[in-house]
Chain A
Amino acid sequence: MRSRFILFKKVKLIKLAALVIVTGAVALGASIISAVSASQAHAQEQAGEEESDIYWEYSGSASLDLRVFPDSALHSGQRDQHLNPSIVFEPEFLVEWNDGDDRIDFKPFLRLDAQDDERRHGDIRELKYQHIGDSWDLKVGADKVFWGVTESRHLVDIINQTDGVEDVDGEDKLGQPMVNLGIQNSWGDINLFAMPYFRERTFPGRKGRLRSALPVDTDNAEYESDLEEFHPDFALRYSTVLGDWDLGLAHFYGTSREPRFVVKPDGNGQPRLIPFYDIINQSSIDVQATFDEWLWKGEGIYRRGQGDDFIAFSGGVEYTFFGIIGDAGDLGLLAEYHYDGRDQDEAPGAVLDDDIFVGARITLNDVEDTDFLAGVIVDRLSHARSFSIEADRRLNDRWTIEAELRITDGLTEKELQYDVRRDDHLQVRLSYYF
């Protein structure tokens, strides 16, 4: 009972503190060096130059989340409440100087969840120093990086760890400590990443919904590398635009963001899932061709290090009928196919291994920016289906409202999502921006 009054578990607190200290120290160190060298350069300049201004800004959002689960909880230990309220706080601080060529961004994140103490968590989404040079830029600290083009799966996106307690779509990410050098050329852009510290994936706790039958013990993760989360990871990306084509090529070497699971008993002899993180090599390609109303998208990966080498790809189209709803609203139709050739016993499980996604997007282009996105993913073999409907709208200059409905149907015991078959839910989020 006592643990209910403790905001975060001790281990998590220590890791979070370590992350803040490491990224903070690195970012601060780098920015001091830059500030000193800049002021020296400034001092050497001829008199009459105006002082470089320091600009700062504070903004962010606070949200009230409400998840509604119509069905009762399935697994022992889960809180059997149909309503799951939580609060999210996400402020953002920015300081810049040298006309914006040097800046520090700080974006902490906090969720207070009434029921699941794993979902009750904090993170440093961003804490970075950035310098923008002439045709190059350097970033030191924690940040988020997105790669890819497809909508229903983000196959090539690998830099950041998924914040798995946030949502089931995998689009919420933990801040990744890194040094990132970007070089811009006329023939394309190169980005080099060195990542000194690995972030473990978050999973719902014993009391939470949307979890596996056996809870995941995130405090005892295991690693292929003896350096564990301090294994240095590296990535290289080349991207370019060739007329109507946007192309990205990348290679990643390091700790797999997706864990495998090992079943082990805890101190009381109860079985639990231990995440195991392999060292992998992954090469990837992502392409988008934009031809008028048609967007053609494709992503592919080749991965080594988890059982047999395997490939996976996602590809599809998006076609938009502009201005056909009312006077101004657009209707977009999407279709994507996902293939994954991994050995599901030796590699982390993949839900989308032979699946088709079809969806529709409605953008009303109104003052309130009203959007809808509805889709279904169907497994080609089992015909298991996952439906999702998302809608969002601005209420006024400071408030927005979002709703997400997620329903699964026809899941068999073979499906990875079988354990969440009773976790269909509606999520409503009311956000205030400041």
Chain B
Amino acid sequence: MSKKLLSTVFSLSLVAFTSGTVLSSAALADEAADIAKGTEIAEEWDRRDWGFGDTESYMEMQLENRHGDKSIREMRQKTLEVPGHDVGDKSLTIFDKPRDVKGTAFLSFAKIFDPDDQWMYLPAVKRVKRISSKNKSGPFLGSEFAYEDLSAQELKKYTYKWLRDEPCGELQCAVVEQTPTYENSGYTKMITWYDLSEYRQQKIDYYDRKGKLLKTLVSSDFKQHLDKYWRPYNMYMENHQTGKKTRLVFSKIEFQKGLKDSELTKNTLKRVR
């Protein structure tokens, strides 16, 4: 509790300092209220995903350049929930297509503030390489998704500020500004639309390091698993600056298949397929 208070006070003083204006106490109070409200919404979003255990997803990534040329990638991802707010989840991604990268695998242990631990398995040479995870803002497989868009979304990776409520399609959404707290993000901020019925991230606008709108992610085809956990089966990312698009379509997401911690290690990476 005191930690949260401290961080709120800290963000407040930061806002006051950076804006360079003397804020009235009323404005300060509004600001604090908006931060508290934004944080509450994100906490609710986070809480609704607790206890999912593990998932195994099958997905296809459709890349499209501005001329409309398409290319397809297919992959599977196993994710293991690591309980607690100070560590991130573990995930293993295995590529099936294009065929020349078939069997390539990517293991990531997400951290909150420290760089993630990441290994890559190259099947042609049977080599497991520890790789630098500084590359958070780099494109994932040449797509419009950056590594940071696809790595585990942890509550403490951002600070939150509520902006407004507004209709989003048939639903009512809370619009929240999120600022990455980790280093090397490619974004200065993200604007996220959470629907107020199930607290799902319906849409995200990403702003680049210069503060310009870079990309928009629209999630749809949400399905509920185990009567609790919602997952979008369609994620559409559009880059406004390059005109390129990537659609991520899930064909299957399975929950609680009994994935063990010992199955997600550097050494077991060699035997994935």
A interface with B by C-beta (< 8 Å):
59, 61, 94, 96, 100, 103, 130, 132, 134-135, 137, 144-146, 148-149, 171, 182, 184, 189, 239, 241, 246, 288, 290, 292-295, 320, 322-323, 327-328, 330, 365-369, 394, 396-398, 400, 431, 433-434
Contacts and interface: CB of A to CB of B under 8 A. Distances in A.
Nearest to A132: B271
Contacts of B128: 146
Contacts of B138: 322-323, 328, 330, 365
Contact of B132 (A61, A295, A327): A295
B119 to A, nearest CB: 8
B72 A397 contact: yes
B71 A433 contact: no
B269 to A, nearest CB: 11
Contacts of B137: 322-323
B47 interface: no
B99 A59 contact: yes
22 contacts: A59-B102, A134-B262, A148-B127, A184-B262, A184-B267, A189-B265, A241-B117, A241-B266, A290-B130, A292-B134, A320-B132, A320-B134, A322-B138, A365-B138, A365-B139, A365-B142, A366-B142, A367-B142, A397-B97, A400-B100, A433-B98, A434-B99
Given A184-B262, A367-B142, A433 B100 contact: yes
A433 B104 CA distance: 15
**Could you say which interface size class chain B belongs to?**
35 or more
A76 B94 CA distance: 50
A397 B63 CA distance: 12
B85 interface: no
B212 to A, nearest CB: 13
A86 B132 CA distance: 37
Contacts of A398: 98-99
Q: Which 9 A-B pairs have the closest CB atoms?
A: A433-B99, A367-B142, A189-B267, A146-B126, A146-B127, A322-B135, A400-B100, A144-B126, A328-B139
B65 interface: yes
B132 A292 contact: yes
Contacts of B134: 292-293, 320, 322
A235 to B, nearest CB: 15
B268 interface: yes
A130 B126 CA distance: 15
A103 B272 CA distance: 11
Nearest to A297: B130
A182 B98 contact: no
A397 B242 CA distance: 23
Contacts of A135: 262
A246 B130 contact: yes
Contacts of A182: 267
A397 B273 contact: no
B271 to A, nearest CB: 6
B101 interface: yes
Quick one: which of A103, A239, A246 has the most chain B CB within 10 A? A246
Contacts of B242: 327
B125 interface: yes
Given A320-B134, A396-B71, 16 more contacts: A61-B100, A103-B273, A134-B262, A137-B271, A144-B126, A239-B267, A288-B130, A290-B130, A292-B134, A295-B132, A322-B132, A322-B135, A367-B65, A394-B98, A397-B97, A433-B102
